[in-house]
Amino acid sequence: MNTRWFDLLQSPEPGSEGGGGAGGAAGAGGADSTAGGNGEGEGDGDDLSRVKHALQREREVNREKDRRMGALEAQLRELSTTNPEAVRAAEAKALEEQTRRELIEQQARIAQEQIESKYSAQLQQANTELIAEREARQRELVRQQAEKAFIGAKGSMEASTIDGSTPFDAVWFRFGSNFRIEDGALVVVDAKGNPEIDSETGKRYEPTKWLKRLQADPVWGRHFEPSMGSGGGARNGRDGRAFAGKDLMSQPLNSLFSDAFGGAA
């Protein structure tokens, strides 16, 4: 077959104008070749039809792709240039979402701070109470040691029949700050917390000796037990102070009359 595909594509459909001459020429070729010519012509016509149909479908598909691409580009241009309302709406929605997220984070942070503050306050209160309890126990230990020293200094332990208080309670209320525990031992300090020094020994005062000084005081001496003095008939009065005088119990009766009324008994 000498016919080229290019020529077939460019030629008009069979039976159209100009095609009749070719058909007539083929018919003039003789009756003997009609059957063979007709069979070969029908096969070529089917192939040509299929090729044209395929080309037509490909053109339609390409046109549909171009149409869709153009529509998409038009939508993009519309959103970015010709439709600012859609852009602003999208921006407002994004801002709203960001604000909501920040609000949730803020609420979570505030809740966490409240929890931390609550437990922090409870922990601080517990620590304060623990420190106060420890200090109270320490002061009670100091008080017990100071009371022992007070008893050793002949302090009176006679309890009140009204409230059960003792003379040591008054002494502790006034001089309790002068005592503290150092290295497990009771020591005496001054108002500034410095050690009280015994002028006789040059060393720190013994708590018992320091308390004994109160016996000679007209007020604080009353908190100590009366006792006989040494020598010259000296003895303690009601205020605890020693005074010089005769021991009346050791004097004979006639001597007492002589001293009281003069002359011989």
> Where does the pLDDT of residue 250 fall: very low under 50, low under 70, confident under 90, or very high at 90 and above?
low
Number of residues that this document lists for the chain: 265
DSSP 67: H
Contact predicate 221/215, CB 8 Å: yes
Least confident range from 16-30, 79-93, 131-145, 222-236: namely: 16-30
Give pLDDT, residue 144: 95
| Residue 154 backbone phi and psi in degrees, to 5 | 65, 35
**Could you tell me which residues come within 8 angstroms of residue 97 by beta carbon, excluding any fewer than 6 positions away?**
none
Torsion over CA of 60, 65, 69 and 72, rounded to 10 degrees? Answer: 100
Q: 167-175 and 84-152 are packed helices; what angle lies between their axes, rounded to 10 degrees?
A: 130
| DSSP 8-state class, residue 158 | P
* Confidence at 239, pLDDT banded by 50, 70, 90: very low
Which range among 20-34, 204-218, 248-262 shows the weakest confidence by mean pLDDT?
20-34
Q: What is the pLDDT of residues 88-133, one digit of tens each?
A: 777 788 888 888 888 888 888 888 888 888 888 888 888 999 999 9
Number of H helices, E strands in the chain: 7, 4
Task: Single out the residue of 194, 183, 154, 192 nearest to residue 171, CA to CA.
Answer: 154
- What tokens does 215 get? 């016996």
Per-residue pLDDT band for 221 (boundaries 50, 70, 90) equals: very high
Nearest one of 98, 73, 68, 94 to 86, comparing CA atoms: 94
Q: Output the average pLDDT for the chain.
A: 75
Please, what is the end-to-end C-alpha distance for the chain in angstroms? Answer: 191
Task: Give the pLDDT score at 178.
Answer: 95
pTM > 0.85 = no
- Annotated domain spans of the chain: 92-219, 225-255
Q: Hey, how many other C-beta atoms are within 10 angstroms of the C-beta on 211?
A: 27
pLDDT in tens, 60-77: 888 888 888 777 777 766
**209 pLDDT above the threshold of 90:** yes
Return all residues near 234 (Cβ < 8 A) that are at least 6 apart.
228, 242, 243, 244, 245
Burial of 204 (0-12, 13-18, 19+ CB in 10 A): middle
Contact 187, 195 (CB under 8 A): yes
Q: Does residue 20 surpass a pLDDT of 50?
A: no
- Both tokens assigned to 126: 């517990």
pLDDT of 261 reads 62
The residue ranking higher by pLDDT, 107 or 1, is 107
pLDDT classification of 57: cutoffs 50, 70, 90: confident
Highest mean pLDDT range out of 38-42, 49-53, 111-115, 129-133? Answer: 129-133
